[in-house]
Amino acid sequence: MFSLKTGNIMEGSKLSYQTWAIAIYLVTTSLKGVSSMKLHRDLEITQKSAWHLAHRLRRAFEASTQLFEGPVEVDETYIGGKRKNMPKAKRMALKGCGGTGKTVVAGVKDRATNDMSARVVSTTDRDTLHGFVKQRAAVGATVYTDDAAAYAGMAGMYHEAVNHSAGEYVRGMAHTNGVESFWSMLKRGYQGTFHHFSEKHADRYVAEFTSRHNMREADTVDQMASVAKEMVGKRLRYRELVS
């Protein structure tokens, strides 16, 4: 059997094409994302179906990594609930401070195009962050970071850092304000729309916010067309989400 749903993220779905089109519109145009509860109400489907639908669309938001010519800004952030809001047992189980128990997300913003590339990383050590930057910035690119020691010594890059620990946030062209603006939007979505997303699914949420940022200047119909194009050749079954 063949239909327009075959060979893309809609395959196996009993939802109508109209439902899919409205969902694409809502997810694409909502800067801080759309919760499965809102999709469930707006689309008049079950919350379970809305949750699966939203994750399938996030799968379509995933794009191949591109090399930025630079200059680029590089930074990392931590996603997770505030420790003071956690149950006492969970607070007591956490050791250390700062980002302990949170999901780490690294990001690169290209100043020439204003495009972002971000993903969840396992740690913020030197090897991980250097590898992340090399996969996204072309050799010879100018890289601006904060004063984290893990960024020092990046081979093949012109690296300049601002000393956040000393209260320095801008020095000439050196700053990370652009990528920090993206973190602000991501966290607004986390806190105000989703309230939580697990580390297991975090990369798809990051891909959604990144892709939506990168196509924000396009007309809505072109944004929707871009998402539809990326749906081809991808599939995300419900059992893969919950296993």
Per-residue pLDDT for 78 more than 60?
yes
Judging by beta carbons within 10 Å of its beta carbon (0-12, 13-18, 19+), is residue 225 exposed, middle or buried? middle
Cβ contact 208:27 at 8 Å: yes
| Residues forming a β-bridge with 137 | 68
Using an 8 Å Cβ cutoff, are 71 and 65 in contact? no
Lowest mean pLDDT among 93-107, 148-162, 189-203: 93-107
Please state, for a pLDDT cut of 70, what percent of the chain lies above it: 91
The pLDDT, as a whole number, for residue 204 is 95
Mean pLDDT score, 108-122:
94
Strand blocks (E) in the chain: 72-79, 103-110, 116-121, 142-145, 158-161
Question: Burial of 136 by CB count in 10 Å (0-12 exposed, 13-18 middle, 19+ buried)?
Answer: buried
Q: Taking residues 208-237, what's their average pLDDT?
A: 94
Q: For residue 99, what pLDDT is reported?
A: 62
Closest CA to 27 of 5, 70, 60, 3: 60
Is the pLDDT at 93 greater than 70? The verdict is: no
Report whether pLDDT(126) > 70.
yes
Q: Residue 182: what pLDDT?
A: 96
pLDDT by residue (tens digit) across 10-50?
A: 999 999 999 999 999 999 999 999 999 999 999 999 999 99
Q: Average pLDDT, whole number, for the chain?
A: 90
- Given a cut of 80, is residue 103 above it in pLDDT? yes
Is residue 81 exposed (0-12), middle (13-18) or buried (19+ Cβ within 10 Å)?
middle
pLDDT at residue 96, rounded to an integer? 56
Provide the pLDDT for residue 89.
Answer: 67
As a three-state string, the secondary structure of 165-202 is HHCCCCECCECCHHHHHHHHHHHHHHHHHHCCCCCCCH
CA–CA distance, 89 with 91 (Å, rounded to integer): 6
Backbone angles phi, psi at 97, to 5 degrees: -140, -175
d(CA 124, CA 29): 32
Query: What is the pairing mode between strands 103-110 and 72-79?
Result: antiparallel
Question: Which pLDDT belongs to residue 84?
Answer: 61
pTM for the model stands at: 0.90
Domains of the chain: 1-61+216-243 (no CATH), 72-186 (3.30.420)
Specify the pLDDT at position 168.
81
pLDDT at position 41: 97
Give residue 165's pLDDT.
Answer: 83
Q: What is the pLDDT confidence band of residue 3, given thresholds at 50, 70 and 90?
A: confident
Q: How far is CA 72 from CA 44, 112, 128, 199, in A?
A: 43, 8, 17, 26
Mean pLDDT on 192-210: 93
Record the tokens describing residue 194, joined without a space: 């989703």
